[in-house]
Homo-oligomer: A and B are copies of this chain.
Amino acid sequence: MLDPSRRIRIAVDAMGGDHGPEALIRGAVEALQTIDGDFDILIVGDEPAIWRILDEIRPGPLPIFSVHAQGQVEMDEKAPRALRGKPRSSIAVCTALVGSGRADALVSAGNTGAVVAASLLNLGRMPGIHRPAISATIPTSSGMCVILDVGANADCKPLNLYQFAHMGHLFAKLVLGIESPRVGLLNIGEEPTKGSALAQAAHQLLAADRERLNFVGNVEGRHIFAGEADVVVCDGFTGNVILKLAGSIGSVGSRMAGDIIRRSLVLRAGALLMKPALVSLKRRFNYEEYGGALLLGTRGTSVICHGRSSPRAIRNAIHVALRATRADLAGTIAQVLTEQELGAVRSMS
């Protein structure tokens, strides 16, 4: 349990990301300037580079500190090997800071595989959790939807999906503030007997746990954007495909719209008047804005951002890391999922 008298400290991996440390540092500064409450930010990376950027930005007196790291895991490197070869890389230092209690959470826009592997290595898996999951937030016509797993596990067992449901439920409740999140199982039909062997078995586990989980049954592809569940549970293969597809809709839609608009002057005039709405709509579909993806199931809080994250996206990710820390999400997951009732479920599968 977090000591309420201690200031929260968020470690930011400045070296991950496609555009180098600047977006990360600008995002950290924006977070300190705009988010309520006291917290420190530790910028982890090549210190001379960090200082140069801070010198340019001149953010004034803010609780922002640098921690040196040597090198970084590149976006195309294989995570386990890269971590062995670069034990002082920025993501290794970030996770070590959280693992040793010198920071409470970390935010990285680096190689997702490296964030997962380093978190497992330096934070450790939560007792009782078989597999950690990455949970992302995507827009719906009525708000937001948490979807997990979006890529930590390409192959899953029914018990994994069952645990993802509980972790997603706690994330939606404690971090997003949804009182009784509607949890749905992604499937290809509404009846319990529909779908893959995995989905059918997971449905049974979830339906048997309705006392603790607001399980709304199967949800189909068309229900996701329609906002018919607050949490959608699936294997990491399907979830990753959906997340990347959803993230491409904004730019594909605007390219298609552009092709149509070019056909007439009237349409072009309309588009000019509507521009703020079109930009806003495109941004709605841009999941990068929504505060990154949270790795659930390790002893700590790791927020994973898109490599192309803007300072605004990094600021939002820091906000998610703060809320997860303040709500003690990781501790609550450990507590709920090690409760004795789960022993019975575990023995079923």
Contacts and interface: CB of A to CB of B under 8 A. Distances in A.
A243 B234 CA distance: 16
A127 B266 CA distance: 56
- Chain A interface size band reads 35 or more
A208 interface: no
Contacts of A196: 154-155, 235, 237
Contacts of A244: 188, 220-222
Interface in A215-245: 220-226, 234-238, 240-245
Say how many copies of this protein the assembly contains: 2
Given A221-B245, A221-B248, A252-B141, A257 B281 contact: yes
A245 B240 CA distance: 14
A272 B274 CA distance: 10
A231 to B, nearest CB: 16
B237 A188 contact: yes
A264 to B, nearest CB: 8
14 contacts: A188-B237, A199-B237, A220-B241, A220-B244, A221-B242, A222-B247, A224-B248, A226-B252, A238-B241, A249-B253, A253-B253, A261-B277, A267-B276, A269-B273
